[in-house]
Amino acid sequence: MADEALMSASLSRSQSFHTFNTPQTAANKYGNNLECRVCEDGFSLGGDKVPRLLFCGHTLCHACLLRLPTHDNNIHCPFDRQPTPIGVSGVWGLKKNFALLELLERLSLSRSDAVLLPEVLVKQRELGISCDEDEEHLAVLYCTVCASHLCLECSERTHATKTLHKHKRIPLSEKPREK
């Protein structure tokens, strides 16, 4: 009977480990670590939702840090009240959480382009740029390697091969300026 309990515990541990590491659970795996614990909005690679580090190790978005009161040139962490000195540059002088930014970038590259947030897609469509593969479609992405404007459908179709799938596709609003 003890052997059955041990085997059952071992099996449930291995099953939960396997489930934890499947690609389908990647977003769930990081869960709330991808959002600011103050405003509960998701972190972004730029703008006012970029993750910034406090000296205590906690991470908040730039917008929430701007709303925190300063005392004697310090911001106090809302979770453990530890002070973080801020210089003349204010919140902008705090280091970005580059580990979290790298994770966000990897997750955005590993996800299907169809998983882009609807508000991001609407913003890209408002730019009114035609897809280079099908001019009847509006582009929402830009492939930095191919230098192509693409809609989601054409992006998936043209970048379906193993080699082309590695190309970096970004929202049109993040496209580098042309000279």
Contact 86, 74 (CB under 8 A): yes
Contacts of 116 (CB under 8 A, 6+ apart): 140, 152, 171
Range list for CATH 4.10.640 in the chain? 112-174
Q: What is the pLDDT of residue 46?
A: 82
Q: In this predicted model, which residue has the larger pLDDT, 121 or 20? A: 121
Tell me the mean pLDDT in the region 17-23.
32
Rounded CA-CA distance 94/87 in Å is 9
Residue that has been written with the tokens 């099996």 in this structure:
11
For residue 105, name the pLDDT band (cuts at 50, 70, 90). confident
Classify domain 112-174 at the CATH topology level. 30s Ribosomal Protein S18 (4.10.640)
Say what the pLDDT of residue 99 is. 87
Q: Say what the pLDDT of residue 80 is.
A: 95
Residue 18: per-residue pLDDT:
30
* pLDDT for position 23: 35
Question: Could you report the per-residue pLDDT of 36-59, keeping only the tens digit for each?
Answer: 999 999 898 888 999 999 999 999
- pLDDT, tens digit, for every residue of 109-158? 555 444 555 555 555 555 678 889 988 888 888 898 998 988 888 888 88
d(CA 66, CA 46) in angstroms, rounded, equals 15
Name the CATH superfamily housing domain 24-111: Zinc/RING finger domain, C3HC4 (zinc finger) (3.30.40.10)
- The mean pLDDT value of the chain amounts to 76
* Percent of the chain that is helix, strand, coil (3-state, to 5): 45, 15, 40
Ranges in the chain annotated CATH 3.30.40.10: 24-111
Q: Is pLDDT of 76 > 90?
A: yes
Edge-to-edge strand order for the sheet containing 74-76?
70-71, 74-76, 83-85
Task: Quote the pLDDT of residue 118.
Answer: 54
Q: What is the pLDDT at residue 113?
A: 45
